[in-house]
Amino acid sequence: MEHIEKFRNPDYIKALVLQIHTVSKKIKKEVKLMEVCGTHTMAIARWGIRKMLPENVSLISGPGCPVCVTPNQFIDTAIEISKLGNVKIATFGDMYRVPSGKKSLEKQSANGAVVDIVYSPLDALKIAEKNPEKKIVFLAVGFETTSPLTAKVILYARNRKLKNFFVLSGHKLIPPAMVALVKDKTHHIDGFLCPGHVSAIIGSEPYRVFPNNYGVPCVISGFEVCDILQSILMLLEMICGKRKLSVEIQYTRCVLRYGNTVAQKIIAEVFNVVDVDWRGIGMIEQSGLAINRKFTEFDAFSNFKLDVKISSEAKSCICGQILKGLKTPLDCKLYRRLCTPESPIGPCMVSSEGTCAAYYNYER
């Protein structure tokens, strides 16, 4: 706890904020910095970091919540599978409540579907082992942080010769989504606060494309208030020319340049990189992970042939624009009126990493 408190020291916070204000005066334009990590989104809101910044520096939230960017097609598929006999769905808690049109796994559970909340893919595997008469389908949603765990569990399932364990892969990759945002002509991003958890797996090299090809600096940040403030300062110093435009690692206590190569090899063994749809952004090339042919026996998409009707987005919900950083929850007519954590209309209000949930809890 003493170590954590050093990253929350009021004197350090004041010193960093002062430096940020000093450097910002050298930048004669409005600066937009985007975080692409739900944990950062929550931390920024919880610590009130936006209120500490100069008027010409703003933080915008990107597609950093894996549950939020999961499209209706995935949710609708999971709901249709849950309707089949002798099937049990295993999912993280956030996905349980995410709406797709007027449907959700929570509502389907009330109608008789069997849905278990799990805390890791290994929990789902254990359920399959204990219930050999049932087909267990794990909803694998997450970025590079959680995909090695899913891959490892699939390897475990093969070694244990399980015939009743399946994975519905909704895993996505962060850097391709960042590229899509930088290329969006309706957008303007001056710098990225890169996700610490994801970067612990992939390292810093995948972000080189941003300063090299697009002139956008990147800093891989930790999650405490001093981490984030220092990362903002580093970005501003690169923007004003005080530091070389590059990818820097602020979160050096957890992130290495080349990441976790063991985890990367496990991902490559089990998954193929494919084009996938992101809520609010659309189809992004080479941004998703699909179970490869060697492990088809565990692929729910291959083993459950369904006629899935994709639900339309809720009217007036602007989660898509919020995920792109074009709007904030305060721009949404539904926010805090009809859409609340108790009665969510869009996924950004459901997830513990969603932008709308962060604003609702901390930035009223």
244 CB-contact burial (10 Å; exposed 0-12 / middle 13-18 / buried 19+): exposed
Work out the average pLDDT over 316-321: 92
Q: What sign results for the dihedral spanned by CA atoms 316, 63, 80, 302?
A: positive
Q: What share of the chain is helix, strand, coil (3-state, %, to 5)?
A: 45, 20, 40
Q: Do 241 and 266 fall into the same domain?
A: no
Q: Give the end of a domain, one of 213, 228, 249.
A: 249
Q: Which residues contact 250 (CB under 8 A, 6 or more apart)?
A: 219, 220, 221, 222, 227, 230, 231, 234
Q: Do 166 and 114 fall into the same domain?
A: yes
Q: Is residue 123 part of a domain?
A: yes
Domain that holds residue 138: 67-173+259-303
Look at residue 210 in the predicted model and tell me its pLDDT: 98
Does 232 score more than 70 pLDDT? yes
Q: Is residue 314 part of a domain?
A: no
Q: Is residue 91 part of a domain?
A: yes
Measured in Å, how far apart are the chain's first and last C-alpha atoms?
Answer: 29
Look at residue 4 in the predicted model and tell me its pLDDT: 76
- Pair type for strands 31-35 and 191-194: parallel
Look at residue 1 in the predicted model and tell me its pLDDT: 46
Q: Do 54 and 97 fall into the same domain?
A: no
Q: Is residue 308 part of a domain?
A: no
Q: Which CATH number goes with the domain that contains 193?
A: 3.40.50.11750
CB 31, CB 239: distance < 8 Å: yes
| Residue-level length of the chain | 364
The angle formed by the CA atoms of residues 171, 152 and 208, to the nearest 5 degrees, is: 50
Q: Kindly report, residue by residue over 165-217, the tens digit of the pLDDT.
A: 999 999 999 999 999 999 998 889 999 999 999 999 999 999 999 999 999 99
* Domains in the chain, number: 3
CB 80, CB 101: distance < 8 Å: no
The angle formed by the CA atoms of residues 246, 247 and 249, to the nearest 5 degrees, is: 135
Q: Is residue 41 part of a domain?
A: yes
Q: Do 109 and 165 fall into the same domain?
A: yes
Q: Is residue 121 part of a domain?
A: yes
Q: Kindly report, residue by residue over 70-115, the tens digit of the pLDDT.
A: 999 999 999 999 999 899 999 998 899 988 887 899 999 998 999 9
Q: Do 40 and 56 fall into the same domain?
A: yes
Q: Is residue 254 part of a domain?
A: no
**φ, ψ at 267 (rounded to 5°):** -60, -45
CB 38, CB 323: distance < 8 Å: no
Q: Do 55 and 75 fall into the same domain?
A: no
Q: Do 54 and 72 fall into the same domain?
A: no
HSE-CB of 266 using CA atoms within 13 angstroms: 19
Look at residue 308 in the predicted model and tell me its pLDDT: 87
Q: Do 297 and 327 fall into the same domain?
A: no
Q: Kindly report, residue by residue over 117-173, the tens digit of the pLDDT.
A: 999 999 999 999 999 999 999 999 999 999 999 999 999 999 999 999 999 999 999
Task: Give CA 106 to chain center in angstroms.
Answer: 21
Task: Report how far residue 253's alpha carbon sits from residue 239's, in angstroms, rounded to the nearest whole number.
Answer: 25
Task: Give, in order, the Cα–Cα distances in Å from 38 to each of 7, 223, 276.
Answer: 19, 10, 20
Task: Report how far residue 273's alpha carbon sits from residue 290's, in angstroms, rounded to the nearest whole number.
Answer: 6
Task: Give, in order, the Cα–Cα distances in Å from 250 to each of 141, 195, 220, 224.
Answer: 27, 11, 6, 11
Q: Kindly report, residue by residue over 19-73, the tens digit of the pLDDT.
A: 999 999 999 899 999 999 999 999 999 999 999 999 999 999 999 999 999 999 9
Q: Give the end of a domain, one of 229, 249, 269.
A: 249
Q: Do 109 and 161 fall into the same domain?
A: yes
Task: Report how far residue 153's alpha carbon sits from residue 165's, in angstroms, rounded to the nearest whole number.
Answer: 10
Q: Do 245 and 357 fall into the same domain?
A: no
Work out the average pLDDT over 228-252: 97
Q: Do 212 and 325 fall into the same domain?
A: no
Which helix (H) or strand (E) element contains residue 16?
helix 10-24
CB 20, CB 236: distance < 8 Å: yes
Q: Name the token pair of 351.
A: 């997830």
SS3 string of 41-101?
HHHHHHCCHHHHCCCCEEEEECCCCHHHHCCHHHHHHHHHHHCCCCEEEEECHHHHHCCEC
Q: Which CATH number goes with the domain that contains 154?
A: 3.40.50.11740
Residue 297 DSSP label = G
Look at residue 22 in the predicted model and tell me its pLDDT: 97
Does 2 score more than 70 pLDDT? no
Q: Do 60 and 88 fall into the same domain?
A: no
**E strand map for the chain:** 31-35, 57-61, 87-91, 114-117, 135-140, 165-169, 191-194, 218-220, 247-249, 271-278, 282-291
Task: Report how far residue 117's alpha carbon sits from residue 344's, in angstroms, rounded to the nearest whole number.
Answer: 19
Look at residue 131 in the predicted model and tell me its pLDDT: 95
